[in-house]
A and B are shown apart, each in its own frame.
Chain A
Amino acid sequence: MPFQSAFSQLFTQDVIIAWAVFGLVLFGIAGAMVYSRYRRKKGQGPSQAVDANRTEIGYAAALVCIVVFLVYSSFTANAKDYPDPPKPAAQVTVTGFQWCWRFHYQGTSFTATGQCQGLRSLPVLVVPVGEPVRLSLTSTDVIHAVWMPQWKFKLYAYPGEVNTATLTIPRAGKWMNRCAQLCGLYHYEMDFWLQAVPPAAFRSYLRTGRL
Chain B
Amino acid sequence: MTAPVKAAAYPSPADEDRDGLAQWLLSTDHKRIGLLTIGTSLVMFLFNGALALTMRSQLAQPEMHVLSPQQYLQFVTMHGTGMIALTITPLAIGLGVYLVPLQVGAPRIAAPRSTLLGYWLYALGALLLIGGFVTPTGGADSSWWGYTPLSNSIYSPGYGQSLWTGGVFLVACGAILQGATTLWTALRMRAPHVTMLRVPVFTWTSIVTSLMVLAGFPALLLAMGEIAAERIDPHAFAGNGWNVLYENLFWFYGHPVVYVMFFPFVGCVAEALATFTGRRYFAYRGTVLALLVFAAGSMSVWGHHMFATGQQVNDYFSLTSIMLAVPAGVEYFGFLGTLWGGRLRYTTSMLFALAFIPQFLIGGLTGILIANPALDYQLNNSYFIVAHFHYTLFAGSVTGFFAGFYLWFPKATGYLLSERLGKLHWLLMVTGANATFIPFFFLGYDGMPRWVATYPASSGFGTPSLIASIGAGIIGLSFCVLIWNVYGSVRAKAPAGDNPWQAHTLEWATSSPPPRFNFDLTHPVPRVHSYAPLFDLRQQARQRKQETERGQRTGRREPPGKDEA
> Which residues of chain A have a CB within 8 Å of any CB of chain B?
3, 6-7, 10-11, 14-15, 18, 21-22, 25-26, 28-29, 31-33, 35-36, 39-40, 44-53, 56, 59-60, 63-64, 66-67, 70-71, 73-75, 77-78, 80-81, 98, 119, 137, 141-143, 145, 147, 149-150, 152-156, 158-161, 163-165, 176, 178-188, 191
A153–B378 contact, CB under 8 A? yes
B333–A59 contact, CB under 8 A? yes
Q: List 28 A-B contacts (CB under 8 A).
A: A11-B375, A18-B369, A26-B358, A28-B340, A35-B341, A44-B343, A45-B278, A50-B283, A59-B329, A59-B333, A71-B322, A74-B373, A74-B374, A75-B319, A77-B374, A77-B375, A119-B456, A143-B149, A149-B447, A152-B378, A158-B311, A160-B239, A161-B240, A163-B309, A180-B308, A183-B150, A184-B142, A188-B69
> Chain B nearest CB: distance from A70 CB in Å?
5
> Chain A nearest CB: distance from B487 CB in Å?
32
- CA A196 – CA B118 in complex, angstroms? 57
B375–A50 contact, CB under 8 A? no
A51–B357 contact, CB under 8 A? no
- CA A150 – CA B70 in complex, angstroms? 29
Return chain A residues, CB-CB under 8 Å to B284.
Answer: 50-51
> Chain B nearest CB: distance from A21 CB in Å?
6
Known: A32-B344, A81-B373. A160 touches B279 (CB 8 A): no
Return chain B residues, CB-CB under 8 Å to A150.
Answer: 447
Known: A25-B361, A160-B239. A66 touches B325 (CB 8 A): yes
A70–B325 contact, CB under 8 A? yes
B330–A60 contact, CB under 8 A? yes
> Chain B nearest CB: distance from A187 CB in Å?
6
Known: A63-B325, A70-B368, A143-B147. A187 touches B344 (CB 8 A): no
> Chain B nearest CB: distance from A46 CB in Å?
4
Return chain A residues, CB-CB under 8 Å to B314.
Answer: 78
A18–B377 contact, CB under 8 A? no
> Which residues of chain B have a CB within 8 Å of any CB of chain A?
69-70, 73, 141-143, 145, 147, 149-150, 155, 239-240, 243-244, 277-280, 282-286, 308-311, 314-315, 318-319, 322-323, 325-326, 329-330, 332-333, 336-337, 339-344, 354, 357-358, 361-362, 365-366, 368-369, 371-378, 380-382, 446-447, 449-456, 458-459
- CA A59 – CA B332 in complex, angstroms? 11
Known A77-B373, A155-B308; further 12 A-B contacts with Cβ < 8 A: A10-B374, A26-B358, A31-B340, A36-B344, A45-B278, A52-B282, A67-B323, A74-B371, A141-B155, A154-B376, A154-B380, A180-B381
- CA A98 – CA B149 in complex, angstroms? 12
A52–B283 contact, CB under 8 A? yes
- One of A67, A98, A153, A178 near B449 (C-beta < 8 A): A178
Return chain B residues, CB-CB under 8 Å to A165.
Answer: 310
- One of B70, B361, B375, B450 near A14 (C-beta < 8 A): B375
Return chain B residues, CB-CB under 8 Å to A184.
Answer: 73, 142, 150, 155
Return chain A residues, CB-CB under 8 Å to B286.
Answer: 51, 53, 56, 60
Return chain B residues, CB-CB under 8 Å to A10.
Answer: 372, 374-375
In the complex, which residue of chain B has the Cβ closest to the Cβ of A18? B365
B149–A71 contact, CB under 8 A? no
> Chain A nearest CB: distance from B256 CB in Å?
21
Instruction: Identify the 10 closest CB pairs spanning chains A and B, nearest first.
Output: A149-B447, A47-B341, A77-B374, A163-B310, A188-B452, A32-B339, A161-B240, A18-B365, A152-B378, A46-B278
- CA A197 – CA B497 in complex, angstroms? 76
- CA A152 – CA B318 in complex, angstroms? 18
> Chain A nearest CB: distance from B351 CB in Å?
11
Known: A50-B280, A178-B447. A74 touches B318 (CB 8 A): yes
Known: A25-B332, A56-B333. A73 touches B326 (CB 8 A): no
B368–A18 contact, CB under 8 A? yes
In the complex, which residue of chain A has the Cβ closest to the Cβ of B457? A119
> Chain A nearest CB: distance from B245 CB in Å?
12
> Chain A nearest CB: distance from B559 CB in Å?
24
- CA A187 – CA B278 in complex, angstroms? 53
> Chain B nearest CB: distance from A77 CB in Å?
4
- One of A39, A49, A178 near B343 (C-beta < 8 A): A39
- CA A155 – CA B308 in complex, angstroms? 5
Return chain A residues, CB-CB under 8 Å to B362.
Answer: 22
